[in-house]
Amino acid sequence: PRPIELLQAAQDATATSRANTPVKDAVVHWFKWDLRTRDNSALYLASQKAAEAKVPLIALYVVSPQDFEAHLTAPVRVDFMLRTLQVLKRDLAELAIPLWMETVEKRKDVPGRIVELMQEWGASHLFANMEYEVDELRREAKLVTLLSEKGMAMEVLHDTCIVPPGKLTTGAGKQYSVYSPWFRAWIKHVHENRFLLDLAGSPERNHKSARAKFGRLFECKVPEAPEGKRLSEQERKKFEALWPAGEHEAAKRLSRFCDEAVGKYGQNRNIPANSGTSNLSVHFASGTLSTRTAVRTARDRNNTKKLDGGNEGIQVWISEIAWRDFYKHVLVHWPYICMNKPFKPEYSNIEWSYDLEQFNAWTNGRTGFPIVDAAMRQLNHMGWMHNRCRMIVASFLSKDLLVDWRMGEKYFMEHLVDGDFASNNCGWGFAASVGVDPQPYFRIFNPLLQSEKFDPDGEYIRKWVPELKGVSGKAIHDPYGRGASAVASKAGYPRQIVEHKGARETTLAAYKRGIASG
Ligand code: FAD
């Protein structure tokens, strides 16, 4: 069975006992990557349950450094999470809800520790939002059973997608593997089930006994970043300024984007020099903003109640958020993509290169292709890269250098502030043509044409590759090939590490050989 089916089975098997579990001394909400108080499905239900039974609500955050290792979580993402916990703790304290935060050494000990804490607090009910990665679903399935055996109840809710995975199937009852028909079905489903865009309420003020009974829990401090995930003080300050944490920042950013940019999103979204996109991915990935709130807010700016009418920019933006849902649906249905396998098995036999010199040139932004180098330097500096550039650099690594796309996927996870397994894995699968609904393998981006098209004035390149600041005109896209050799070489900018045309031929041949033997 798929991991989600295991969880479903555990929930079905315990349905009666869960419904009959009496509320004891407290109700607990377990925070994961849903670090907000507003429009949080499980938190809201937990607060309702506690209020009805007139007992305190306790918020819990338990993490193991092994979780970060297993998910290759970038230090910048860990830092964002820790800063968000600070904000969350303050917001919850204003509602008299304590936030208890703990680190446990081993990943496998998290469920056991939660049970212990529940018992220590005399809590009877645990609420959490669902995460769709394989290990997380399996863990939750075990926890539902474990708690039920001990006379406690756990509710795991769908929250992070607008349409829960598994809801949309083709006429033949199958999971869609192509985005366009899936998106039409997604729109139709949301229109027919308008409650999907109803926001969950905010938690009520906690029961008055919370401080008297659980006063100690209010004193809890936000944990330190584990070893290997720590930033230097200087980096911490930089990222704090670049990515202010917490749900209030997310709300401000959403409202600014909807006021100033969403209307022109369709025209501007592909131009990396332009701040035409929302920069909200870090908030969706950390759960400081729900996609429900985002889609609803954007839709309400439109003069129609539908998701596919009115302003074009708004429609396109909503369709981009839907990609996030699509990839999570894919992950839930085909969980083997979590196991480092290409979605399309016929692509398993491509002979990839593992040339570290070329890979390191790519990671360090020293390939001699200015658009690629600008993008990689943006990632290294900000922990974020523009979507168009993510496609360009992923295509370059897998199709110009023929380097195993999984090395790029891993590097992205280790550096992105918005690292999200499904979006990242499937984004790489798209660019390397091995994923779900991919770019056909013979479609190979020409980095120079991409550069001319999407950074016509070289503004983005000049920002991130200062060596080329003095290069004017079209030469910015290819300084050695277009008469700016002297400036580029004086500034120490590298020559191209590969010749695109030849690389293209090699790649086409390698894909053809791989597919034939696959
Ligand atoms: P906007 O353009 O404002 O879009 C709004 C939201 O829609 C985004 O925040 C994001 O949640 C969603 N979205 C937009 N495009 C996509 C897409 N192609 N796939 C899935 N969701 C999308 N996104 C991540 O959140 N985490 C990742 O780890 C990630 N890795 C990627 C790797 C590759 C190789 C590629 C090609 C794309 C990847 N993306 C990833 C998708 C996309 O690049 C980012 O979501 C986007 O750049 C974030 O910027 P934004 O918030 O300004 O996006």
One of 387, 414, 452, 459 is an active-site residue; which one? 387
Q: Which of 54-68, 301-315, 470-484 has the lowest mean pLDDT?
A: 301-315
User: Is residue 146 pLDDT above 90, yes or no?
Assistant: yes
Quick one: pLDDT band at residue 346, thresholds 50, 70, 90? confident
Which atom from ligand 1 is nearest to the alpha carbon of 391? Answer: 36
- 136 given a catalytic annotation: no
pTM over 0.90: yes
Please give the average per-residue pLDDT across 483-494, as a whole number: 96
Please give the average per-residue pLDDT across 15-44, as a whole number: 98
Q: What is the pLDDT of residue 337?
A: 86
- 352 given a catalytic annotation: yes
What is the percent of the chain where pLDDT is above 90? 95
- 428 given a catalytic annotation: yes
Q: What is the pLDDT of residue 345?
A: 86
| ipTM at complex level | 0.99
Please give the average per-residue pLDDT across 177-205, as a whole number: 97
Q: Where are the alpha helices (DSSP H) in 123-246?
A: 134-149, 179-192, 210-214, 233-242
Q: What is the pLDDT of residue 309?
A: 86
Please give the average per-residue pLDDT across 451-475, as a whole number: 97
User: Is residue 173 pLDDT above 80, yes or no?
Assistant: yes
Please give the average per-residue pLDDT across 325-336, as a whole number: 96
Ligand 1: lining residues by beta carbon, under 6 Å: 269, 277-281, 284-285, 320-321, 323-324, 327, 387, 390-391, 394, 412, 416, 418-420, 423-424, 427-428, 431
Pocket test for ligand 1, best of 162, 387, 418 (most atoms within 8 A of CB): 387
Q: What is the pLDDT of residue 62?
A: 97
Among residues 190, 223, 421, the alpha carbon closest in space to that of 295 is found at 190
Q: What is the pLDDT of residue 338?
A: 79
Among residues 90, 115, 86, the alpha carbon closest in space to that of 224 is found at 86
For 100, phi and psi rounded to 5 degrees?
-95, 120
Q: Where are the alpha helices (DSSP H) in 227-364?
A: 233-242, 247-260, 265-268, 281-286, 291-301, 312-333, 356-363
User: Is residue 518 pLDDT above 80, yes or no?
Assistant: no
Please give the average per-residue pLDDT across 433-457, as a whole number: 96
Pocket test for ligand 1, best of 423, 445, 450 (most atoms within 8 A of CB): 423
Q: What is the pLDDT of residue 20?
A: 97
User: Is residue 207 pLDDT above 90, yes or no?
Assistant: yes
